[in-house]
Amino acid sequence: MVSADVARNIVGIIGNVISFGLFLSPVPTFWRIYKAKDVEEFKPDPYLATLMNCLLWFFYGLPVVHPNSTLVLTINGIGLVIEGAYIIMFIIYAAKNTRWKMLGVLAIEAAFMAAVVAGVLVGAHTHEKRSMIVGILCVIFGSIMYASPLTIMGKVIRTKSVEYMPFFLSLVNFLNGLCWTGYALIKFDIYITIPNALGTIFGLVQLILYGYYYRSTPKKGKNVELPTILTKNAVTSGNVSVTIEK
């Protein structure tokens, strides 16, 4: 019989693969930016938010905070590298005012993380206390990010069209949340469970809406820029903005 540790590792590895795919999903957008040498109307907000989320989860997964969380550590470490690359490209090709705003947000994020790291390592002397403090922050930020699809779901209901809610991303968001919820429940971790359970619920609702409104969606050929859709808590994963041609 498979032990709980082995089962959790298998589920965590699957979660790493799914989350990695979600981190890479904005690549078409950045290939377009690279070719145009211009960020056009794309917004840096989802990438800055995902970077912050990855930083918190990476810190949570460190042995000094929450031991035996290697798979949380690996995927968020990868996420930091990928999101960092996106942000660097945005800074290179963004207008001057946008570039300075981004640098300001990055400075705030860096100061916040420095304060969190210092406060946790100096003020909390047990793994339980450190896990609780960082975990609560992860739940807050992760839940906010997972709630972001509510705007696109509202648009689907208003327009009776799934044109701006791609099926594949909705499906993978659901599978990602489901996988990491399972990971958290095998050896119960409430801080990973809460945001990913929310992600699973929102992902399922998106799939239900897609099935309900698919037939009423106008079929017309045009380039569509997808709005920001939360993909991952990086344990989850992040936000995604991609461009497709219909």
Give the model confidence (pLDDT) of 104-125 as tens digits. 999 999 999 999 999 999 999 8
Q: Looking at per-residue confidence, does 232 or 214 come out higher?
A: 214
According to the model, what pLDDT value does residue 243 have? 37
Which pLDDT score is estimated for 81? 96
Strand partners, 225: 243
Residue 235's pLDDT band (boundaries 50, 70, 90)?
A: low
Q: What is the pLDDT of residue 232?
A: 43
Which among 35-49, 128-142, 162-176 has the top mean pLDDT? 128-142
Q: Which residues pair with 232 in a beta bridge?
A: 238
Q: 73-102, pLDDT tens digit by residue?
A: 999 999 999 999 999 999 999 988 989 999
Domain of 137, in residue numbers: 4-245
Number of structural domains (the chain) is: 1
Query: What pLDDT shows up at residue 236?
Result: 52
Q: Say if residues 54 and 23 touch (Cβ distance below 8 Å).
A: no
Q: Which residue has the higher pLDDT, 184 or 245?
A: 184
Instruction: State yes or no: pLDDT of 224 exceeds 90.
Output: no
What residue spans of the chain are helical by DSSP H? 4-24, 27-36, 45-61, 70-93, 96-123, 127-147, 149-159, 167-186, 190-213
**Looking up tokens 């304060």, which residue turns up?**
115
The C-alpha torsion from 240 through 101 and 81 to 22, rounded to 10°, is 0
- Any idea how long the chain is? 246
Matching residue, tokens 């799914």? 18
Segment 151-180 mean pLDDT:
84
pLDDT confidence of residue 148: 67
What average pLDDT score do residues 161-169 get?
Answer: 78
Query: Could you tell me which residue, 239 or 37, shows the higher pLDDT?
Result: 37
The verdict on pTM exceeding 0.85 is no
CA distance 180 to 178: 6
